[in-house]
Chains A and B, each alone.
Chain A
């Protein structure tokens, strides 16, 4: 029960729901950068939502299936073909032993999730197989997948499933994130406070699972801030002295020393995983009283369909 990596693409990683609870040791929760698309792919093939799957960033992945499998692809819209035939995304499909799957040319979003019925097997570290490249944790020896890697696949626990179209998120290359004030918001200049919520930024090539270095008009503080290093979370927008914000993502640093201007709300954290280099990123002010109902609404929208999943 194996699959073989023929080409690993830009970056393909084994991911599950991550290893929360270790930020005080400097180990981020990590896991699938876009938890929603990851859960959808798993659900479609009949897996539990948090079963290990492949996270493929920007495409270039070629895989050979060594047995018959049920697979599903969700998340970023890529041109995916099995044996040269276009594959639908967000739909469970049957592939046969010897079939070759190619995923390439991302049209929107950044990361596609390839789930295989039965799930990918790997050795967990601190309860998770999620790959964390900076410390070489999880995955296959802590590395991104390479040409020639052979992955073991588990036994399916149930048959394929479907999901209503209304539950499939629409991704674009303009990521809009609802955010609330971060701890150092008050240090921003008045102009920057307005500007942060009105103009889009662009994700530079310095964008990976740790963070997205954004580019736009400079965000400034009223007075320079010499901060003591303090805990930092995924979805925190930091402002270094050069004024170009850095958005912390799934593998983001556990502490930081720059002003934390904004914090993306819990309901929108999954979208952080779909910021590709070059994408536009906008922030919308979220009122504290609304965050609760937004999250409850989104959780209940999926609760009956994907057991155990929540944002």
Chain B
């Protein structure tokens, strides 16, 4: 188990960004909580152009014309030292209908072969648990969820696809997630939801936010 209170590694990401990275062996709820708490604190400081949380890492982008790398690193260290990290808020539970396999899940065969399971067993495994929304990103509405069951873990495609349809549900190593929009992508696609996760013209453009939970309902 990862000790969530262990200090993360702060490193330089090019000349105008800093990467904060926690060592985890896979995934840790506690680390993801820390990532989001740090993100909130850094965003409140108003010193950054972007504060982008990940599962176990955070990138903040600054303007090198305004701040130096060293002062930025020091600021992050100060915030980490001072901040008392609380529990993350538990969001809403969202049910997401999924068509697994077929044209909607072109990589179902790959996952069945590596898991040595039938498609029905893969579907049952993938939809049996609730997932936590750990981060949003990649493209608008891309939903990164907490780990899939171990049997389903599989590396990304060696060459990413030029087009993955919106709503596609995929697997990348232990991660599982939903493509919010059509985009290029390298995840193993096992199904697709008709829900639109991001809709600019909707009153609330994002259907899901970090902290929510997702339950897949096979159709």
- Which A residues form the contact surface with B (CB < 8 A)? 20-27, 29, 125, 134-137, 142, 179-183, 206, 210-211, 224, 226-231, 233, 235-236, 240-242, 244, 253-258, 260, 262-266, 286, 288, 291-292, 295-296, 299, 310-311
Given contacts A24-B137, A255-B144, are A231 and B64 in contact (CB under 8 A)?
Answer: no
A226/B200 in contact, CB under 8 A: no
Known: A263-B13, A263-B17, A266-B64. A254 touches B183 (CB 8 A): no
- Name which residue of chain B comes closest to A287, CB basis: B15
The reply to whether A242 and B138 form a contact with Cβ atoms under 8 Å apart is no
A24 touches B39 (CB 8 A): yes
B64–A242 touching, CB < 8 Å: no
Taken together as a complex, chains A and B put the C-alpha atoms of A81 and B50 apart, in Å, by 41
Q: How far is the CB of B192 from chain A (nearest CB, A)?
A: 17
Given known pairs A228-B56, A295-B65, the reply for A255 and B137 (CB within 8 Å) is yes
Residues from chain A with Cβ under 8 Å of B54 in the complex: 228-231, 255
What separation, in Å, do the CA atoms of A179 and B21 have in the docked complex? 21
| Nearest B residue (CB) for A234 | B61
B15 touches A233 (CB 8 A): no
Residues of A within 8 A of B200 (CB): 125, 135-137, 142
Do the beta carbons of A242 and B65 come within 8 Å of each other?
A: no
- Please, which residue of chain A has its CB at the minimum distance from the CB of B60? A231
**Interchain CA distance A231-B39 in the complex, whole Å:** 13
Interface residue from A230, A240, A265 paired with B15 (Cβ < 8 Å): A265
Q: Are B52 and A23 in contact (CB under 8 A)?
A: yes
Contact yes or no, B158 A266, CB < 8 A: no
Question: Which range holds the interface residue count of chain B?
Answer: 35 or more
B77-85, B116-124, B173-181: which lies at the interface: B173-181
Provide a sorted-by-A list of 27 A–B residue pairs whose CB atoms are within 8 angstroms.
A21-B50, A23-B52, A23-B61, A24-B52, A25-B136, A26-B139, A26-B141, A27-B140, A134-B139, A135-B200, A136-B200, A137-B140, A137-B200, A182-B14, A228-B56, A228-B174, A229-B137, A229-B175, A231-B53, A231-B137, A253-B138, A254-B138, A255-B137, A255-B138, A256-B138, A288-B12, A291-B64
Q: In the docked arrangement, what's the CA distance between A145 and B119, Å? A: 44
Complex CA gap A224/B156 in Å reads 12
A235 to B16, CA, bound (A): 11
Known contacts A135-B139, A135-B141, A253-B139; 13 further A-B pairs (Cβ under 8 A): A20-B49, A23-B50, A26-B137, A134-B139, A182-B13, A183-B21, A210-B183, A229-B177, A230-B57, A240-B156, A257-B186, A262-B14, A266-B65
